[in-house]
Structure 1
């Protein structure tokens, strides 16, 4: 009886894993320039749910565990089958550059969650096996995958690496001329930068600050991504999205991809 129950549980786990990692039917969509899939790995079909809507930017949190790049928000959620390769790199290689209805880069954010030095060393080994699909600092590739590191990465080591295959996500202070080739995007905590929470009209001074950040990013050739956006209600988060979408250099991160796409489509 116990063996039967154990066998049934194991079978269920294997089926669940298979269902999670199975490549779904995929039809390329027109690329969305400003959409960013926050915590993309939480979705029923990581990567594909975002691509199906045209999102050009997805984010995966990565822990280095025994030389494997496991994807998850925290250690308790990790599983050996859910790796950067299985959820992202292998499916992307299978798609062979056919990601959108026209050539466009996918930005794959890899958020380092532990041991930056060791994680970078292992990531470089892994990415070397996918070099032909990557858009790198040395070799841009139309329709390629641009890997952008965020989180606890070893900045100076990476910038000093002449063979690096990745780009970096900087801070707002990195919004500077001459940095876009290595640091194409910067990020900031919304709630530490602005007080407006999506209720009522954005204060004039803060609206000016947001416009200035966009204008500066346009001049430097970079993108700006804010996180911890107000999201207590649908109305609040959509008000913030609508304000961000006014400015082409701002990426808009969301958990609610279909909802964000609807807002984007209305503002086109």
Structure 2
């Protein structure tokens, strides 16, 4: 499936506006370049054949950040990508006409803000751009980051309804990405990493995830259960991430520069338990104020081996980490 050119152009125009326009040659209009050479350079720089095909995210370095409440941002998905955040999230509500609406509360839902319009369609367009026709295609498709084409983008889908209709509709919406081999999946006892890894959270039915063969939606496991049930075992290839509230695990963080030694050790121990099971860890509910405490906790979590730090201040976190 490929989308109309006009839609692709619009999304890439929007993304360019967030990420910044592609850089032109540093030779363009250089005062010391001889006139004949300047003419050649100008002519060549305006030729579309000279354009680096995957420069859309060329200067962005991936960061272990989760764009929390991403749909609140002025430009959802794309703002997070512009900072290098490798994870994003969408709260999904089921409308009476079976549309998949995006928002934090029912009062914020509008017909034009859907899972497709805000996330899936832009992702498909970006990934098509990052995977141009080439005589030597990679074994697996490139991801959204040109500087790290093997980096997957975690897409958390937070289901806000327990309706049995919602999960099948989400799977149907994911078809274009799956048909283009852009979704990570688990099959025949092996995990296959792809540009996007979909993780279901909220009311995502774990039993439906377990039943999938191949499985291209993974489960967001409540990490705090490992504190209560250290011997817990879950079927291989079901969990895509293990998440919990930092406050729930370590209590109140009171240090001006972040967690105290005991709290850091608690985090490290929990990360270690998750790693034994092959799970990455995501913490949310981190301190928001003061800024020194917030930034200190971000650094401590990354140093402790946490895969994703959930942040609202994604631009600040990108600079800090």
TM-score tier by shorter-chain length is: 0.7 to 0.9
> Structure 1 residue 58 and structure 2 residue 105: aligned?
no
Match of 1:106 in 2: 153
- Would the alpha carbon gap of residues 235 and 180 (structure 1) be closer, same or farther in structure 2, given more than 3 Å must change? farther
> Structure 1 residue 35 and structure 2 residue 65: aligned?
yes
Match of 1:166 in 2: 217
CA contact (8 A) 1:223 1:250 kept: yes
Cα distance in 2 between the residues matched to 1:198 and 1:36? 23
Find the partner of 1:245 among 279, 297, 302: 302
How far off is 1:216 after superposition? Answer: 2.2
Question: Which deviates further from its counterpart, 187-196 or 35-44?
Answer: 187-196
Aligned to 2:174, the other structure's residue is in SS state helix
How far off is 1:63 after superposition? Answer: 0.5
Question: Which deviates further from its counterpart, 62-71 or 166-175?
Answer: 166-175
CA contact (8 A) 2:264 2:304 kept: no
Cα distance in 1 between the residues matched to 2:164 and 2:194? 29
Match of 1:144 in 2: 195
Structure 1 runs not aligned, ≥5 long: 1-18
Match of 1:88 in 2: 119
Match of 2:317 in 1: 260
Q: Could you say which structure has the larger radius of gyration?
A: 2
Cα distance in 2 between the residues matched to 1:141 and 1:81? 33
| Cα shift readout 1:53-99 (whole Å, capped 9, x = no counterpart) | 21110011110112111110011111111111111110111112631
Question: Which deviates further from its counterpart, 218-227 or 199-208?
Answer: 199-208
Cα distance in 1 between the residues matched to 2:153 and 2:282? 15
| Cα shift readout 1:8-33 (whole Å, capped 9, x = no counterpart) | xxxxxxxxxxx99973304312222x
How far off is 1:226 after superposition? Answer: 1.7
> Structure 1 residue 115 and structure 2 residue 145: aligned?
no
| Cα shift readout 1:241-268 (whole Å, capped 9, x = no counterpart) | 121121223411101111101111xxxx
CA contact (8 A) 2:156 2:201 kept: yes
Q: What TM-score comes out, normalization by structure 2 length?
A: 0.70
Cα distance in 2 between the residues matched to 1:81 and 1:180? 38
How far off is 1:211 after superposition? Answer: 1.1
- Would the alpha carbon gap of residues 105 and 20 (structure 1) be closer, same or farther in structure 2, given more than 3 Å must change? closer
Match of 1:233 in 2: 290
